[in-house]
Structure 1
Amino acid sequence: MPVKIAIAQIKVEPGQRIILDQISWQEFEEILEDLGEHRHSHIAYYKEVLEFRMPLPGHERTKVLISHLLVVLLEELGLEWESLGSTTFKSRPMQAGIEPDDCFYIDNYQAMVGKQRLNLDVDPVPDLAIEVDFTSVTQVSAYEALGIPEIWRYEDGKLEISLLEEGKYINSFMSKAFPSIPIIEGISLCLKKSQVIPMSALRREFRQWLQEYI
């Protein structure tokens, strides 16, 4: 007779991932409800595979820095934007769910102003997502199924830009959202300095670097 384990009994240590197979959509929804919103682990779900991941402190610092630099870029370009952070994006028809490290609405920002609940049957997906340590097949599959156009991925000390083309992600040297800015070069410079320079100073350096291209 199978033994059922309460989802609250599963402990994910920092830096670890746990993968559960044969989780139906209904079970996925129930698990999300049981977990609630006040948790530190992130989930990825695609066609009955559910993954939990717990970020390390270094992961969080890198995520925050990249997000801050993106905000600086948006400000310098005079663009409006909205962020839903690590909101759960899920679609039953696509059998997919994902919680990015951060996400931004740029073209579709107006649809998110004041948004309290998200329904992907009617609401747009983010224009851009940020992921640190983006290594999971489940994560990639969920993102592709949901159709998020662009991901900034930081992995093994490198920043990569992935663009969705015909349902699959391909690496790109340039951002679709900011085609005139060498994003990888500018943010990589700041990330290299982040071990010895505070984020506040890096924001100022990045803003100054941008003046050459704006």
Structure 2
Amino acid sequence: MQFQFSQLSFPDNAEVVINDVSWADFERFMDELGERSSLRISYNQRSIHLMAPSAGHEVPKLHIGRFVEYLLEQQQLDFESLGSFTMRKQSVQKAVEPDECFYIEHAAAIRGKRQISLDSDPPPDLAVEIDIYSPTDRALYAALGVPELWIYDGKTLVIWVLQAGEYHAVEFSPHFPGLALREKIPVLLNLAEREGRMVAMKAFRAWVDENPPCPPFAKGG
């Protein structure tokens, strides 16, 4: 396999797949990219998938990220937000970049690290994916051991929890029990699109303050 990052060019939301790529070549490719790329990248079954997200993809992820951060701060939970860093696990030959991800229970374990490998470090406790233009491969996240995965498709939010190696849809997030986020977040994303980020965030804060979540499992033992 011989290719150069500089040779890749494609429009927003188009996906490029490079097949028959060894793990060593994938890591070389990632080293070549460094931190220059805004591409979304995953690796599975010897294939690299690359996508250039558009504003229609990026805007909801930023809003959801802010919502999650406010919830964590409101509950005074320690956390680290790592955005869309590349989660790699050589032992299963898989890698993926979530739209947003949060270390909550394991925040202290990765704090200050410049490099994170899921072969030796824990996966994020919560990941967020925006599925407006392409579906999320939940099996890839399951193989990496991500306990909780939120997927928003432009209309609905589904909360998935990993149990015995498979994801199951649940009504409430284990991190924010009793809070009807599946119903509220899509409404607020529509509000943000119509009236702007500040209006939506103000409405979200007021709603959370009036309907505080139950203590999360992390605090309940």
TM over 0.5, shorter chain: yes
Cα offset for 1:4? 4.2
Give the root-mean-square deviation of aligned CA atoms: 1.7
Contact 1:44 1:99 in 2 (8 A): yes
Q: How many residues align?
A: 211
Structure-2 separation of matches of 1:180 and 1:140: 24
Contact 1:12 1:52 in 2 (8 A): no
**Which runs of no fewer than 5 residues in structure 2 stay unpaired?**
213-221
Cα offset for 1:63? 0.5
Structure-1 separation of matches of 2:68 and 2:174: 14
TM-score relative to the length of structure 2: 0.89
CA gap of 1:184–1:211, structure 2 versus 1, over 3 A, is same
CA gap of 1:18–1:34, structure 2 versus 1, over 3 A, is same
Contact 2:84 2:98 in 1 (8 A): yes
Identity %: 33
Aligned-partner SS, 2:50: strand
Contact 1:14 1:54 in 2 (8 A): yes
Whichever residue aligns with residue 10 of structure 2, its letter is: V
Q: Deviations over 1:111-162 (max 9, x none)?
A: 122222212222111000111117446x433211101011111114221111
Contact 1:111 1:123 in 2 (8 A): yes
Runs of 4+ in 1 over 4 A off after TM superposition: none
Structure-1 separation of matches of 2:6 and 2:162: 35
Contact 2:171 2:182 in 1 (8 A): yes
Look up the match of 1:80.
78
Aligned-partner SS, 1:43: strand
Look up the match of 1:52.
50
Structure-2 separation of matches of 1:122 and 1:176: 25
Look up the match of 1:62.
60
Q: Deviations over 1:9-37 (max 9, x none)?
A: 12132111111221110111111111121
Look up the match of 2:94.
96
Aligned-partner SS, 1:144: helix
Any residues of structure 2 matched to 1:185-196 within 5 Å, and which? 185-196=183-194
Look up the match of 1:179.
177
Contact 1:76 1:207 in 2 (8 A): no
- Structure number with the bigger relative contact order (C-alpha 8 A, sep ≥ 6) is 1
